[in-house]
Amino acid sequence: MILTNEVQASQQATQFDLAAYLAERQAQVEAALDRSLQVIYPERIYEAMRYSLMAGGKRLRPILCLATCELSGGTPEMATPTACALEMIHTMSLIHDDLPAMDNDDYRRGKLTNHKVYGEDIAILAGDGLLAYAFEHVAIETKNVDPERILKVVAVLGRAVGAAGLVGGQVVDLECEGKCDVSLETLNFIHNHKTAALLEASVTSGAILAGASDSELQRLSRYAQHIGLAFQIVDDILDITATQEELGKTAGKDLQAQKATYPSIWGLEQSREQARNLVSAAKAELMDFGEAAKPLMAIADYITARKH
Cα–Cα dist 92/87, whole Å: 8
Report if residue 93 touches ligand GRG, rule: CB under 6 A: yes
Our CB check for ligand GRG shows the closer of 60 and 122 to be 60
Report if residue 259 touches ligand GRG, rule: CB under 6 A: no
Which of 50, 96, 226, 259 touches ligand GRG by CB under 6 A?
96
Site for ligand GRG in 181-200 (CB under 6 A): 194-195
Contacts of 181 (CB under 8 A, 6+ apart): none
Report if residue 57 touches ligand GRG, rule: CB under 6 A: yes
Q: Per-residue x/- mask for ligand GRG, residues 118 to 157, rule CB under 6 A?
A: -------------x--------------------------
Region from 38-46, 92-100, 113-121, 277-285 binding ligand GRG, contact rule CB under 6 A: 92-100
HEC profile of 7-18 = HHHHHHHHCCCH
- Residues 98, 103, 107, 113, Cα dihedral to 10°: 20
Which of 70, 105, 216, 235 touches ligand GRG by CB under 6 A?
235
Cβ 167 vs Cβ 161: under 8 Å? yes
Helical segments of the chain, H only:
5-14, 18-36, 43-53, 60-71, 76-97, 114-118, 120-141, 147-161, 166-176, 184-191, 197-209, 214-241, 244-247, 253-256, 262-266, 268-284, 294-305
Our CB check for ligand GRG shows the closer of 113 and 142 to be 113
Angstrom CA distances, 165 to 134, 205, 216, 233, stand at 16, 15, 22, 18
- Residue 251 falls in which region: left (phi positive, over 0), alpha (psi -120 to 50) or beta: beta
Angstrom CA distances, 163 to 24, 118, 153, 219, stand at 34, 27, 17, 24
Instruction: Determine the length of the chain.
Output: 308
Report if residue 94 touches ligand GRG, rule: CB under 6 A: yes
The closest alpha carbon to 262, from 177, 180, 188, 167, belongs to: 188
Cis peptide preceding 42, ω within 30 of 0: yes
Residue 185 C-beta: closest distance to ligand GRG, Å:
19
Report if residue 271 touches ligand GRG, rule: CB under 6 A: no
Residue 291 C-beta: closest distance to ligand GRG, Å:
27
Region from 165-173, 201-209, 263-271, 278-286 binding ligand GRG, contact rule CB under 6 A: 165-173
Our CB check for ligand GRG shows the closer of 90 and 219 to be 90
For the chain, state the CA radius of gyration: 18
Residue 75 C-beta: closest distance to ligand GRG, Å:
24
The size of the interface with ligand GRG (CB under 6 A), counted in residues, is 19
Task: Give the CA angle between residues 50, 53, 54 to the nearest 5°.
Answer: 80
Region from 37-45, 91-99, 175-183, 215-223 binding ligand GRG, contact rule CB under 6 A: 91-99
Site for ligand GRG in 278-297 (CB under 6 A): none
Our CB check for ligand GRG shows the closer of 131 and 187 to be 131
Our CB check for ligand GRG shows the closer of 173 and 216 to be 173
Q: Would you tell me which residues interact with ligand GRG (CB under 6 A)?
A: 57-58, 60, 90, 93-94, 96-97, 102, 109, 131, 161, 166-167, 170, 194-195, 232, 235
